[in-house]
Amino acid sequence: MASGMDAHGTRFLRFNDLTEEFEHVANVTSISGPSAEREEIEVTSHDSADGWREFIGGLKDPGEVSIDVNYVPGVHNPLFDDFNDSVRRYRIVFPDSDSTTWEFEAFLSGFEVEAPFDDKAEASLTFRLTGKPVFGPASEFEDPEGSGVIG
């Protein structure tokens, strides 16, 4: 039998250094990532069986997370301040029964606004992860849902 999860209700949170709490980012329409990758190291030698190349895993790259928002300047422009931060903590909280949470450190590497004449204003934000992300049920995190709202 097929199974899946309705992604509606997934939340993107940003750590506020002043209040020391996570804040929910409002009007998020899409979340992509993290796009983790691992380097491949070839270890093929003359002794490799039957002429097949051999590999081992190398360094891991946590990748990027991108979010799209229904852009409202007064709501989302404070996120632009993240360009001035070296690294900040972020979370993605899924709407499953465990409120599965992905927490990671990242810096804002892209902020692109689009304002077409015949549709809503949107913005795409890209976050470059650094270090190992943490995955688990909400019960493993302090303040998993956050207490504030950006927007």
Give tens-digit pLDDT for 78-88: 888 888 878 99
pLDDT tens digits for range 100-110 = 999 999 999 99
CB neighbours of 139 closer than 8 A, spacing ≥ 6?
98
Which H helix or E strand runs over 14? strand 11-16
Residue 23 structure tokens = 């804040």
The pTM assigned to this predicted structure is 0.86
- Give per-residue pLDDT as tens, 36-80: 999 999 999 999 999 999 999 999 999 999 999 999 998 888 888
- Domains, in order of start, for the chain: 11-36+63-146 (2.30.110)
